[in-house]
Structures are given as structure tokens and as C-alpha cells.
Amino acid sequence: MSDNYSLMSLQHSRSFKKPISNAPLIVAVLLVFFFIGLPLYFVDRAGEVSTTTPNADTTTYTPRYGYAILSETMPGNFSNYAVFVPKDADEQTVLATAQLFKKERCTTNTCNVVTFWNDKDQYSLYVKKQDDAQWRKKHWAKMCEANVADYVVGVNEFTFYPMLDNEYRKYGGTKKRPTQTMHNL
């Protein structure tokens, strides 16, 4: 009987093996994500914004989605952006770029006004603009034509060529505004 009992106890001990826990594996995966994956995401996005005081030789990072941020200013608890789009971009492309910018930037940040420019040099002139009549006569028309669109986020108003107005014509501008200038994003 004792042999029978020892055999049963041996079989009994083998059948109740301790289950293997997945907890160490789960903890390891989470640690890798939080200490490697998440920081790499932010490092990858770090170069998207250039300096807030642009000039003609400012180098900007061109993100994978087709626009470059010329400047970001934060005059309070919101952000204003100047965005560069290619000179040959048509109205539909600029509108699509604005929608993409809104999705990428304005869902996580409090955006106020986003201006779209197709010439970096003209944007630099706009930043340094003067009230001098000679300066305006020389630069105003080209500068206004380079301001492709404005997007006022708070009222969801997107306007093509907002600077093509009477002052633009006063300083020699001849380009006509599109028939439909206002859009909602």
C-alpha cells in the first residue's frame, strides 16, 4: 500500500504544475513602449517647427504631409502659424493642406490664425513690413499675392487671397480674387 500511495502522490504532484504567468512579458512590453517607442515619436516630430522669428535664410523642416511651418507664435494661450505651401499649389491643394494642418496641429494645440504663404521671401517681408509709402510701392503687391490663404480657427473661416483688396490695387496689384473666397473647414 505504501508503494501505491507514493506512486499516487508522485502522479498527483506532476498534474498540478504551477501555471506560467505572462505578467513579466506584459511589463517588459510596456516598459519598452514607454521608454523607447513614445520618446521616439516625440523626437521624430521635434523638427517640425522652426524659429518664431523667420528670415530669408531660415531652414524649415518639411514634414511628410506636404507643408512647412515658417513660424509659430504664441501670444497667450493659443498659437498663430505661418505655413509654406508650394508656389504651384492650386486652390484645392491649399484647401486640402489646410484641412490636414487643422487635423495635425489644431486638434492638440489651441490654434488661432493660420496663414498660408507660397513665397518665403515675401513672408519675411511681411514680418518686417513698414508703413513707408516707398517700401509699400515696391513690395506690397507681390507680398499680398504670396499670402495664399488665411484660416481663422475660432470661427472656422478659410479665405483665399485675403490681402487682395483696395490697398493691394492702390500699390499696383492686378490679380483678381477667386469667385468663391470663403470656405469652411
Contact present, 79 and 110 (Cβ < 8 Å): yes
pLDDT-wise least confident of 15-24, 58-67, 92-101, 146-155: 58-67
Residue 56's pLDDT band (cuts 50, 70, 90): very low
pLDDT tens by residue, 89-126 = 888 888 888 888 888 888 877 889 999 999 999 999 89
Residue 61 has pLDDT above 50, yes or no: no
Contact present, 114 and 98 (Cβ < 8 Å): yes
> For the chain, which residues make up each domain, given as ranges?
2-45, 51-183
Q: Are strands 111-117 and 68-73 parallel, antiparallel or unpaired?
A: unpaired
Which cell numbers in the block locate residue 158?
478659410
pLDDT of residue 5: 53
pTM of the shown model:
0.62
Residue 6 has pLDDT above 60, yes or no: no
CA distance 126 to 119: 11
Residue 154 CB contacts under 8 Å (≥ 6 apart), including other chains? 112
pLDDT tens by residue, 126-181 = 988 888 888 888 999 999 999 999 999 888 899 999 999 888 999 888 888 877 77
Contact present, 123 and 183 (Cβ < 8 Å): no
Which cell numbers in the block locate residue 47?
523638427
CA distance 12 to 151: 75
Q: Other CB atoms closer than 10 Å to residue 58's CB: what's the count?
A: 15
pLDDT of residue 24: 75
Contact present, 49 and 63 (Cβ < 8 Å): no
pLDDT of residue 18: 59
pLDDT of residue 86: 87
